[in-house]
Amino acid sequence: MTLAEIFSWPHVIDALTLGALYALIAVGYTMVYGIIQLINFAHGEVFMVGTYVALLAVLHTGMPLVAAIALAMLACMALGLLIDFTAYLPLRRRSPGVDAVSIAGLTAFALLAVAYFELGRREVTGLPVLLVTAALALIPLGLLVLALLSMAGRLGRPKGQVASDRLSALITAIGMSLSLQTIAQLLWTADYRAFPASALPAFFGRTIWTVGEPPHQAAILGKEIVIWVAAAVLMVGLGALVSFTRTGRAMRACAQDKETAALMGVNVNSVIGFTFAVGSAMAAIAGVLYAVKVGGNISPRMGYYPGVIAFAAAVLGGIGSIRGAVAGGLVIGITQSVGGGVTLWGLERLAHGLGAIGWEGGRAGLERLVAALAPRISAYDFAFAFGLMILVILVRPWGLFGKPGGKRA
């Protein structure tokens, strides 16, 4: 294998497409982290719900994909706000309700473990499923009631910004993630689905350009160009929003110092809600485009891997930084696409070197390893992505664009 083969056009196109999608998801993690130092583990599920909303809209109303994406964005903005309002906002408020909410988060976690176990065994129907469903329905309801109570001041005097226990927030986030996954499974089943080809614009599958020379020629499809352009426009737009608008300034102010931002007249919780909404809208677009790219992968768990990978991208780029999310997304996309090839190439070079210094045994051994790995190495693409993230944060714990010991939006 040569480097030219590894960095051949099909791989490069794949890397850029993945990278663009990861960047769109990563920005949601990074903006929310930048402002409230919370890893919103439910972000991958927002991505999933957005995809379903668009899919169902297309299937049931036959609306054009663009309209379905717009609807998914709106739905996800509402979902993002709801997640913040029910799960995280109560934790930011100073009130005895905080403990109750973290307990609710833990309960959700436990119940969902049971739900997984029960629903995983297909023969279980009837009462257990009913009970689990009822219990699941009660969780968001309970969180909502707690949030409303705490807003009404019944559980104390909510005021100001008090950092609550980070662990409670983290557990609540995981509980939220699993809740949404399980609710999606109950609503829409665990079956894999796809956008019907008839719902997609014809040019998505058409070859727009052909690049490279045979045998490494590659077609650039319409959908890939759509993904690149959408990601570029959205990221530039988001950067402009944060840098140049009044709301963007308020977001940066809250990221730096919420108390002082409040003293300037900023409604801090509204700004945080807005941040959730914007990140969620991005996730909705990314979800639909991801489903269009991959095809046939829509399921309640579809948010997990892209979510985790995009989180890695956000960390690698420097969590809290939008530029970092873009850079991290691209780097992770490239690593995932070519990491295996580069590893094989490196091992081959090494075998070559061992042969050159006369150690035939070593050379033969390595060559056998390469031969054994070659057909399977693409299964390790996520491992390369995470490996790179670990390497980067060993050297620069604040990531590529982060600030040492700091945080930013």
Stretch that binds other proteins, among 3-11, 16-24, 180-188, 262-270 (CB under 8 A): 262-270
Does residue number 404 form part of the binding site for other proteins (CB under 8 A)? no
The C-alpha atoms of residue 325 and residue 318 are separated, in whole angstroms, by: 7
Q: How far is residue 35 CA from its own chain's centroid?
A: 17
Does residue number 352 form part of the binding site for other proteins (CB under 8 A)? no
Stretch that binds other proteins, among 31-39, 72-80, 244-252, 315-323 (CB under 8 A): 244-252
The owner of tokens 């790995």 is 373
Give the per-residue contact string, 85-124, with other proteins (x = CB under 8 A; - = no). Answer: ---------x------------------------------
Q: Is the Cβ–Cβ distance between 43 and 25 less than 8 Å?
A: yes
First to last CA, the chain: 42
Residues numbered 142 to 161 that lie near other proteins (CB under 8 A) are 153, 157, 159-160
Q: Is the Cβ–Cβ distance between 181 and 45 less than 8 Å?
A: yes
Does residue number 165 form part of the binding site for other proteins (CB under 8 A)? no
Stretch that binds other proteins, among 39-47, 98-106, 198-206, 259-267 (CB under 8 A): 259-267
Out of 262, 347, 373, 383, name the contact with other proteins by CB under 8 A: 262
- Tell me, by CB under 8 A, how many residues bind other proteins: 23
| CA geometry: angle 334, 207, 229, nearest 5 deg | 55
Cβ closest to other proteins, residue 248 vs residue 341? 248
The C-alpha atoms of residue 172 and residue 185 are separated, in whole angstroms, by: 20
Does residue number 260 form part of the binding site for other proteins (CB under 8 A)? yes
- DSSP 8-state class, residue 205: G
> H-type helices in 121-201, by residue range?
127-152, 166-188
Give the nearest distance from C-beta 17 to other proteins in angstroms: 33
Q: Is the Cβ–Cβ distance between 287 and 48 less than 8 Å?
A: yes
Give the nearest distance from C-beta 255 to other proteins in angstroms: 9
Q: Is the Cβ–Cβ distance between 172 and 102 less than 8 Å?
A: yes
Binding residues (CB under 8 A) for other proteins: these are 94, 153, 157, 159-160, 246, 249-250, 252-253, 256-257, 259-268, 408
